[in-house]
Each structure stands twice: as C-alpha cells, then as structure tokens.
Amino acid sequence: MIFSTITFVLFIVILVCVILTHYLGFSSKDEFLFFNRHHAQAFFFLCLFLLTVVSYILWREYRAPSELSVYVRPYENAKVSMWIPSISKSGSKNWTFNTFDSPQAVKEYYFRKKNREGWEIRTKEKERFLVLEKGNLDLTIQIREEKNGKSDIVYTLEERAR
C-alpha cells in the first residue's frame, strides 16, 4: 500500500509540473489568466520547491516506523500521524503516531516484556507516560487521548548525560 501511495504522489508531482510548464509561462503563450510570463515562472519554481518539501515529509513519514523499530517495536495498531523535525538542541529523536486504541491499551502493550525488547521501565504504572531505559538511552512514550477517540503516541529518544 505504501508503494502505491508513493507512486501516486510521484504521478501527481509530474502531472502538476507538466501543467505548470505548459500553461504558466514556459509555453508560447505570453499570459495565462492573470499571470504574466515572469510571474508564472516564479510561481512554477515556488510549486517545485513546495513539492520537494512535501515529498521529503512524506518520505520521512514512510521511514518513521522502521527508524523507531531500531530502538523499540512501535505500537502494533498505530499509524504515523505526522513527521515533525526535532527542534531540541539535545539531539533527541521524535516520532509521532496515532491509534484508535485507548492510552491504557498502549501502556499495557509496553508493560509486556516481549514488546520492550530489552528496555526497562523506569516510571510507575499510574503515570500518563512511560520512561524506558536501556544503557545510556532514555525512551519517553507519551500517550494522550484526543476528543475524536484517537490516542496520540509521542516517542522521544534521548541520550542520558554521563
């Protein structure tokens, strides 16, 4: 299914570029709608830039489950919700997923030892988040229930200072 989504996105990118190339300034027409030739060319390059950014974000979202699985198994019923780059100066890594399961179901999933893959739980069971530790790494799993019935799962991986 991911392969067909990527193929579809690439098809749309190529189609938009062809349409913009022909109708917005790179064809023999001097004007199209309210665009003159120079404005149309600038708009074309802006669209190419935006398509590049969107493609990069889609690629990062596609890679998120495999990046997280290097450290811990992602929650089995979760889907990638959105890729947001890390803005922390500490070098932490972040992954955001969502699921229709309750926060308690997500916590119970990680309380099973086989799903933690060697990580030890450092927090108490009643807290709204989990902190797992393995070596000098801390993995914080925050689970927030939204009003629409979904639960957001935010994984944050940080290296502990020595």
Q: Let me know: does 131 contact 123? Beta carbons within 8 Å.
A: yes
Residue 102 lies in a domain: yes
Sorted by sequence, the CB contacts under 8 Å of residue 58 that are 6+ apart come out as: 6, 9
Mean pLDDT (the chain, rounded): 76
The count of structural domains within the chain is: 2
Query: What are 152's strand-pairing partners?
Result: 98, 144
The pLDDT score that the predictor gives to residue 23 is: 62
Residue 60 lies in a domain: yes
Is 74 a residue whose pLDDT tops 70? yes
Of 69, 94, 122, the last residue of a domain is: 69
The conformational region for residue 135 under phi > 0 = left, psi -120 to 50 = alpha, else beta, is left
Given pLDDT bands bounded at 50, 70 and 90, which one contains residue 1? very low
In this structure, the answer to whether residues 50 and 99 fall within a common structural domain is no
pLDDT at 72: 86
pLDDT at position 27 is 53
Where does the pLDDT of residue 87 fall: very low under 50, low under 70, confident under 90, or very high at 90 and above?
low
41 or 147: whose pLDDT is higher?
147
Q: What is the pTM of this model?
A: 0.70
In a 10 Å sphere around its CB, with 0-12 CB exposed, 13-18 middle and 19+ buried, how is residue 44 labelled?
buried
Q: Which ranges constitute the DSSP H helices of 24-158?
A: 37-69, 103-111, 113-116
